[in-house]
């Protein structure tokens, strides 16, 4: 690796002024302390690709905690978080941007898929513990050296050729989540696996290494999948490399359906902003064709209570909707409402695609666009004014009125009041 390429210009053109100022300050502070400082990882890759910048990741050859302490004296930082044990620190800038600092380090794996032991080292060794060559480049920012690319493993060439390549043959064994990371980058950048990397990946898959990995770490990767633009492409890759059902146990891979699910229709996109847990919306699509198997997913991964409850409600809600909506009999609006009101928006799109009858789709649309917004005009206050005592009865009355409004029996506010008088006040 040499210092052939200088990316100072690229930095200046792609990083906002505040970030550049920070980079300069870090570079100066580091040299005063006799340390070398680098930007590393995704940011270097994305700079070279001309892609949008996210967070800044710095690595220093030296004590990152000491550097950050020094920096704190000169920077308008809001918050400083230090982790003594790992010699890492973060600062949060005024604009909310998070900036990470680490001491360059090596990691030792005691056994496959274990968490690594950590020890301070040179930048080269720090880069060597990383996942792929394209993520193993550093950009020096030490004062006087700003913009010098340090690329000991040929990341730049691989980036130009569009290749994902591991740094050594044990990479997937040390950390099987790299299997999933590889597929995510393949999908995102439309890259290819380098030949040796591909056979190492296939070996790792067939030796069942993902089974040894903590479900929590795999779940992290799953969430990252669903944050990608072209998730469908990644699912295809998961299937192609034989890890689809490892990641999504008992899920049914049906390409045509998945493609329809993940290439959202415009019509539906406006419901997407009601979705609270976007990645679960994705998981529901994966399991839509065999929804009851989603319980396998729930059992495998450490979900939060809210995530778990959403999945349970969606399974139940879609199941009930599929019984009611296609029915040939004449269904009242309030029946549709009562059945669908417990279905979280995470399940709307899956249900829509699962309904194959026109009539059923019309009914669901009616719920989405109209029924669920109908509310009684009168309120609890009006009921009090009519002389009723507040209590559980209020909810019952208001629900009843809502149902009658949905069915078109009650229309105006005076109809509602009359209804209350006749049925609850005699």
Residues lying near ligand ATP in the complex (CB under 6 A) are found at: 41-42, 130-131, 135-136, 175, 177-178, 181
- CB closer to ligand ATP, 127 vs 410: 127
Residue 175 vs 307, nearer CB to ligand ATP: 175
**CB 72 to ligand ATP: min, Å:** 24
**Which residues are registered as beta bridge partners of 398?**
none
**Nearer to ligand ATP (CB atom), residue 218 or residue 420:** 218
Nearest-approach distance from CB 225 to ligand ATP, in angstroms: 10
Residue of this chain nearest to ligand ATP (CB atom): 42
CB of 129 to ligand ATP, least distance (A): 6
Q: CB of residue 41 vs ligand ATP: minimum separation in angstroms?
A: 3
| Residue nearer to ligand ATP on the CB measure, 158 or 175 | 175
- Beta carbon nearer to ligand ATP, 87 or 181: 181
CB of 217 to ligand ATP, least distance (A): 8
Q: How far is the CB of 167 from ligand ATP (least distance, A)?
A: 9
- In the bound state with ligand ATP, the residue whose beta carbon lies nearer, of 148 and 175, is 175
**Which C-beta is closer to ligand ATP: that of 60 or that of 350?**
60
Closest distance between ligand ATP and the C-beta of residue 11, in Å? 17
CB atoms < 10 A from the CB of 306, how many? 11
Angle at 168 between CA 166 and CA 171, to 5 degrees: 70
Structure tokens at 35: 């340390």
């Amino acid at each position: 690796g040499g210092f052939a390429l200088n990316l100072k210009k690229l930095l200046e053109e792609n990083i906002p002024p505040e970030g550049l100022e920070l980079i300069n300050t870090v570079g100066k502070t580091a040299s005063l302390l006799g340390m070398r400082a680098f930007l590393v990882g995704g940011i270097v890759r994305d700079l070279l690709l001309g892609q949008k910048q996210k967070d800044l990741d710095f690595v220093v050859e030296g004590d990152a905690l000491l550097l950050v302490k020094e920096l704190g004296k000169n920077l308008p930082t809001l918050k400083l978080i230090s982790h003594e044990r790992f010699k890492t620190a973060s600062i949060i800038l005024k604009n909310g941007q998070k900036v990470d600092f680490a001491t360059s380090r090596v990691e030792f794996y005691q056994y496959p898929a274990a968490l690594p032991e950590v020890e301070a080292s040179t930048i080269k060794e720090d880069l060597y513990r990383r996942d792929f060559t394209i993520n193993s480049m550093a950009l020096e920012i030490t004062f006087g050296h700003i913009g010098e690319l340090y690329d000991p493993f040929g990341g730049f060439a691989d980036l130009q050729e569009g290749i994902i390549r591991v740094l050594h043959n044990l990479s997937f064994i040390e950390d099987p989540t790299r299997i999933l990371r590889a597929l995510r980058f393949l999908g995102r950048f439309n890259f290819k696996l380098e030949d040796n990397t591909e056979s190492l990946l296939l070996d790792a898959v067939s030796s069942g290494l993902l089974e040894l990995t903590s479900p929590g770490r795999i779940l992290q990767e799953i969430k990252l999948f669903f944050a990608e633009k072209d998730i469908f492409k990644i699912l295809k890759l998961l299937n192609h490399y034989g890890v689809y059902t490892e990641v999504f146990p008992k899920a049914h891979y049906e390409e045509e359906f998945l493609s329809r699910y993940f290439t959202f229709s415009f019509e539906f996109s406006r419901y997407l902003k009601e979705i609270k847990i976007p990645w679960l919306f994705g998981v529901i699509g994966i399991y839509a064709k065999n929804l009851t198997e989603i319980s396998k997913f729930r059992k495998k991964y450490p979900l939060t209570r809210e995530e778990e409850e959403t999945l349970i409600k969606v399974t139940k809600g879609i199941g009930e909707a599929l019984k009611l909506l296609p029915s040939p009999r004449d269904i009242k609006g309030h029946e549709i409402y009562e059945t669908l009101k417990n279905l979280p928006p995470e399940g709307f799109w899956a249900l829509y695609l699962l309904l194959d009858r026109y009539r059923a789709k019309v009914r669901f649309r009616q719920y989405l666009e109209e029924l669920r917004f109908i509310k009684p005009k009168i309120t609890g206050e009006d009921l009090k004014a009519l002389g009723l005592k507040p209590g559980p009865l209020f909810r019952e009355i208001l629900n009843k009125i809502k149902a009658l409004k949905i069915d078109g029996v009650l229309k105006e506010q005076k109809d509602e009041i009359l209804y209350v008088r006749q049925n609850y006040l005699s």
